[in-house]
Amino acid sequence: MNKVIILAAGEGTRMKSNISKVLHKICNKSILSYVIDASKEANFDEIYVIVGKNEEAVKDEFKDSVKYIKQEIGPEFPYGTGYAVKLAEKYIEDEDNILVLSGDAPLIKGKTLADLVQCHIDQENEATVVSAIVDNPFGYGRIISDENGQFKKIVEHKDCNDNEILVKEINSGMYLFNGDKLKYALNKLDTNNVQGEMYLTDVFGILEEETLKISTYKVKDNTEINGINTKLQLAEAEKIMRKRINEAYMLEGVILENPETITIEKGVLIGKDTVIEQNVKLLGDTVIGENCLIGMNSRLINAKIGKDVIIYSSFIEDAIVEDNVDMGPFARLRPKAHIKSEVHIGNFVEVKNAILGEGTKAGHLAYIGDAELGKNINVSCGVIFANYDGKKKHKTIVGDDAFLGSNVNIVAPVHIANKAFLAAGSTITRDVEEGQLSVERAEQRNIDGYYERKFGNK
């Protein structure tokens, strides 16, 4: 069985944050979630996450999707990566392939891990070290090989001699072991070193003494092994991940303008020939059809957008927009808004828990909440659906071909029938029948001589 142990108990003090390092976000997903997802993509059957003080926060995010092992901290407990992995020993079977990953290395790809497993099997290794060739290996442990290019040992940077310091193949901190050999080596680890810690890298010396086969697997993309320890490295990882995601969409026929400014979460679906302008965020389970335009500074969360839709600088969350709709700028669709085909929504229009039927138009400055609007309705400037009485929300129904004049207030619950006409400035509190004109205004009075009485003869 393929099992993975993810080391995620580190306190991450260099992040200078109250948030656990592995729960910081990259493209709106936690660092640790990327490591877990890559493990799942590589078909690892069981995922064990080593947690520390961050236990509750990690469990809150991942629930029962993984298994947790608590690493206690204190003078009575050993420190080090070797001790962390040893905590999972009872879950390791002799025939298992055991992958060890860092919870702060979110750029590792599932395909890379799958290729690692295949390499491990094909070469009949007992242990495989994920490595990389880099121009500047400063600070990294070096992979030292013999004259035949075979793995010999891992030497930490501070312990390198004059020859070893020149080696450019580095240790990533990711390893694959045969279960029985890992258990054997873990039980021989000790803390007899300057730091007094149990180092996982010491297992390779133990296995080497037994003349067991150890090889390296060199990643093709060095960014995959990047760890995150600071907010600066977090920003760099976000840039790399965003570039990866955006390139994948562009290869599928999506047009991204100034892509380095665009954030698209994994899992978003976008049809070909859709144009995404700069500073757009597409989040959650958003789906966008073909031939759409998502204008600059728009933010879509769990939105379902049809084909041939134009959205200028708007905010959409948990809403449905059907084909051939145009909206914005500065429109807002809140949860349960359903905009049917050929609808026009203009600037500063807000829709919440409402259906707008085919061909309906709300040009500007309107609030439509808890309502069901039919087809070909005109919602004029300043129309307000007054849906809340202080305790409960109430629904308004408006029939096809109705006309809602400027500055009309509709106090729910009311029913406006087909072809009804609501005169500008009216406050509607009762039902309006089909074809009726509804007018509710105080009588206009024009008072002569008012200016002179107010201000005198100026």
Stretch 40-60: mean pLDDT, rounded? 96
Q: Indicate the angle between helix axes 231-251 and 31-41, nearest 10 degrees.
A: 50
Task: Give the rounded percent of residues in the chain with a pLDDT score beyond 90.
Answer: 86
Supply the pLDDT for residue 127. 96
Supply the pLDDT for residue 414. 98
Stretch 74-92: mean pLDDT, rounded? 91
Q: Where are the beta strands (DSSP E) in 295-452?
A: 299-301, 304-305, 310-311, 315-317, 320-321, 326-327, 332-333, 338-339, 344-356, 361-373, 378-379, 384-386, 396-398, 403-404, 409-411, 414-416, 421-422, 427-428, 437-438
Stretch 117-141: mean pLDDT, rounded? 94
What digits encode the pLDDT tens for the residues 386-425? 999 999 999 999 999 999 999 999 999 999 999 999 999 9
Q: Which residues are annotated as a binding site for UDP-N-acetyl-alpha-D-glucosamine?
A: 7-10, 21, 80-81, 102-104, 141, 156, 171, 229, 334, 352, 367, 378
Distance, CA of 47 to CA of 6 (rounded, Å):
7
Residue 121, pLDDT above cutoff 80? yes
Q: How confident is the model at residue 278 (pLDDT cuts 50, 70, 90)?
A: very high
Supply the pLDDT for residue 294. 99
**Active site residue: 24, 157, 344, 364, which one?**
364
Supply the pLDDT for residue 77. 85
Domains of the chain: 2-225 (3.90.550.10), 231-438 (2.160.10.10)
Residue 456, pLDDT above cutoff 90? no
Q: Which residues contact 372 (CB under 8 A, 6 or more apart)?
A: 354, 355, 395, 396, 397, 398
Q: Which residues are annotated as a binding site for Mg(2+)?
A: 104, 229
Distance, CA of 437 to CA of 405 (rounded, Å):
11
Stretch 210-214: mean pLDDT, rounded? 88
Q: How confident is the model at residue 458 (pLDDT cuts 50, 70, 90)?
A: low
Supply the pLDDT for residue 212. 87
* Mean per-residue pLDDT over the chain, rounded: 95
Task: Tell me which of 412 and 457 has the higher pLDDT.
Answer: 412
Q: Which residues are annotated as a binding site for acetyl-CoA?
A: 387-388, 406, 424, 441
Q: Where are the beta strands (DSSP E) in 200-280?
A: 214-218, 255-256, 263-264, 269-270, 275-276
Supply the pLDDT for residue 191. 82
Distance, CA of 361 to CA of 375 (rounded, Å):
9
What digits encode the pLDDT tens for the residues 134-167? 999 998 899 999 888 889 999 888 888 999 999 9
- DSSP tally for the chain: helices H, then strands E: 8, 37
Q: Where are the beta strands (DSSP E) in 142-280?
A: 142-145, 151-155, 169-178, 214-218, 255-256, 263-264, 269-270, 275-276
What digits encode the pLDDT tens for the residues 279-312? 999 999 999 999 999 999 999 999 999 999 999 9
What digits encode the pLDDT tens for the residues 305-329? 999 999 999 999 999 999 999 999 9
364 tagged catalytic: yes
Name the β-bridge partners of 89.
none
Q: How confident is the model at residue 367 (pLDDT cuts 50, 70, 90)?
A: very high
Q: How confident is the model at residue 11 (pLDDT cuts 50, 70, 90)?
A: confident
Q: Which residues are annotated as a binding site?
A: 7-10, 21, 80-81, 102-104, 141, 156, 171, 229, 334, 352, 367, 378, 387-388, 406, 424, 441
Stretch 45-69: mean pLDDT, rounded? 96
Task: Give the rounded percent of residues in the chain with a pLDDT score beyond 70.
Answer: 100
